[in-house]
Chain A
């Protein structure tokens, strides 16, 4: 009797393990999670797009204007374009260097401060 019960319990345990493996391996659990994420995020994304519509429109217009400017300057004024490219890249490089220096120094100071407090 005990032996039979033990065998039944082992069999039930095996079945539960197999069922869990089926859930994770074959994908229903993954699909369920994806559905949950989609259902939760879709309205949020819709709300964000709707509420930020004016700002997005401004950004879109700015991007279009920039695209037009880059295309036309490159075609119509080659010398000005070449000088502009060099100036923008050199300026961006200097700006990024300064930005990283400031960020890294701030991080180092914050790190030293935290260690000092410890």
Chain B
């Protein structure tokens, strides 16, 4: 099938498959899947700039579907999401400035890939380590993490000013309760700072930022895993929309391709989001860690292929590795959902 904006011929069956994988992982982990879509579209022969632009458009659309699905399951804390959005937009703007400076210096590609490899490697290793550690602990709660003390300290942080004057509300305390996330009191500057950091990293790496935000909410703020997944998706809608608008302005989005993938992603989202209701949170985090590690390995392979001219084929190997691991994890999710649904009724 010919796609007029990107000017390429791509088999729609491949796009449907990619959409299904992205939708399932998005619903299960609360990520937009930008890194996966871009890699997949590049393998299908889509020009790089269109792969990124169309990828961000799909991130926006699939995050809307996944967020609505999680809202129906009661997994979205809009208060926390809105606080984080206050920091996300300035963070993205600052990252865009830094990107321009790095591009002018001619080092943007290697720098971003290096940050990606270090970041994904460290994050994935920590998540898998935490999963193994918590599983070994006898009588651990289903949603227990090894950083509970850190989360308690972060929630207790007292950051000045303690009151703010807001138009229409007068003097307002800067500590708020987030009952949906199980947080009795937290300074508003904590979620705003996290939003800023995630927005900065998302803007720098050209991604939605879900793979950073979900672990941050779980391990640093102490938000329950499924609530972090839903709230994270709300945040990704904002970052995805900004990216879509910017790339569409430059005519670097193929609308037809995005809509085909979105239709498939909507089916995958039903599986992924419903699975979070049945699968235990620790297992969700463990699988997420494996996905993040495979993402890190794929970026490392890409960097090697760029550095050594004889190893250009590693670029394709990287994308195929990422797609293969993601496809396998989708099958695991579907299997876990079926097994859990047969075993016991939904816990909530």
Query: Which chain A residues border B256 with CB–CB below 8 Å?
Result: 66, 70
Judged by a CB distance under 8 angstroms, whether B258 is at the interface is: yes
Cross-chain contact B244 with A74 (CB below 8 angstroms): no
User: Separation in Å of the A67 CB from the closest CB of chain B?
Assistant: 4
> Once the chains are docked, how many angstroms separate the CA of A84 from the CA of B255?
9
Judged by a CB distance under 8 angstroms, whether A62 is at the interface is: no
Judged by a CB distance under 8 angstroms, whether B4 is at the interface is: yes
- Count of chain A residues near B, Cβ 8 A: 26
Cross-chain contact A81 with B251 (CB below 8 angstroms): yes
Cross-chain contact B270 with A100 (CB below 8 angstroms): yes
Cross-chain contact B64 with A78 (CB below 8 angstroms): no
Which of A3-11, A19-27, A37-45, A89-97 lies at the binding interface?
Answer: A89-97
> Once the chains are docked, how many angstroms separate the CA of A71 from the CA of B69?
33
Cross-chain contact B65 with A96 (CB below 8 angstroms): yes
Judged by a CB distance under 8 angstroms, whether A49 is at the interface is: no
Query: Which chain B residues border A97 with CB–CB below 8 Å?
Result: 64-65, 68-69, 266
Contact of B245 among A66, A71, A82, A93 (CB under 8 A): A82
Known: A67-B2, A70-B255, A93-B62. A86 touches B267 (CB 8 A): no
Query: Which chain B residues border A84 with CB–CB below 8 Å?
Result: 255
Judged by a CB distance under 8 angstroms, whether B216 is at the interface is: no
User: Separation in Å of the B8 CB from the closest CB of chain A?
Assistant: 13
Contact string, B202-239, partner A, CB cutoff 8 A, digits 1/0?
00000000000000000000000000000000000000
Cross-chain contact B262 with A70 (CB below 8 angstroms): no
Cross-chain contact B249 with A89 (CB below 8 angstroms): no
Judged by a CB distance under 8 angstroms, whether B300 is at the interface is: no
User: Separation in Å of the A21 CB from the closest CB of chain B?
Assistant: 34
Contact string, B254-293, partner A, CB cutoff 8 A, digits 1/0?
0110110011001101100000000000000000000000
User: Separation in Å of the A78 CB from the closest CB of chain B?
Assistant: 5
User: Separation in Å of the B16 CB from the closest CB of chain A?
Assistant: 14
Judged by a CB distance under 8 angstroms, whether A79 is at the interface is: yes
Query: Which chain B residues border A86 with CB–CB below 8 Å?
Result: 60, 241, 244-245, 248
User: Separation in Å of the B236 CB from the closest CB of chain A?
Assistant: 13
Query: Which chain B residues border A89 with CB–CB below 8 Å?
Result: 57, 60-61, 244, 255, 258-259, 262
Contact of A92 among B248, B262, B270 (CB under 8 A): B262
Query: Which chain B residues border A90 with CB–CB below 8 Å?
Result: 60-61, 64
Judged by a CB distance under 8 angstroms, whether B46 is at the interface is: no
Which of B72, B248, B259, B263 gathers the greatest number of chain A CB atoms within 10 Å?
A: B248
Query: Which chain B residues border A75 with CB–CB below 8 Å?
Result: 251
Query: Which chain B residues border A79 with CB–CB below 8 Å?
Result: 249
> Once the chains are docked, how many angstroms separate the CA of A85 from the CA of B252?
11
User: Separation in Å of the B72 CB from the closest CB of chain A?
Assistant: 8
Judged by a CB distance under 8 angstroms, whether A88 is at the interface is: yes
The 6 A-B residue pairs with the shortest CB-CB distance, nearest first, are A82-B248, A96-B266, A93-B64, A85-B248, A67-B4, A74-B251
Beyond A70-B255, A96-B262, 10 additional pairs, beta carbon < 8 A: A74-B251, A82-B249, A88-B255, A89-B57, A89-B61, A96-B263, A99-B266, A100-B65, A100-B266, A104-B270
Binding site for A on B (CB under 8 A): 2, 4-5, 57, 60-62, 64-65, 68-69, 72, 241, 244-245, 248-251, 253, 255-256, 258-259, 262-263, 266-267, 269-270
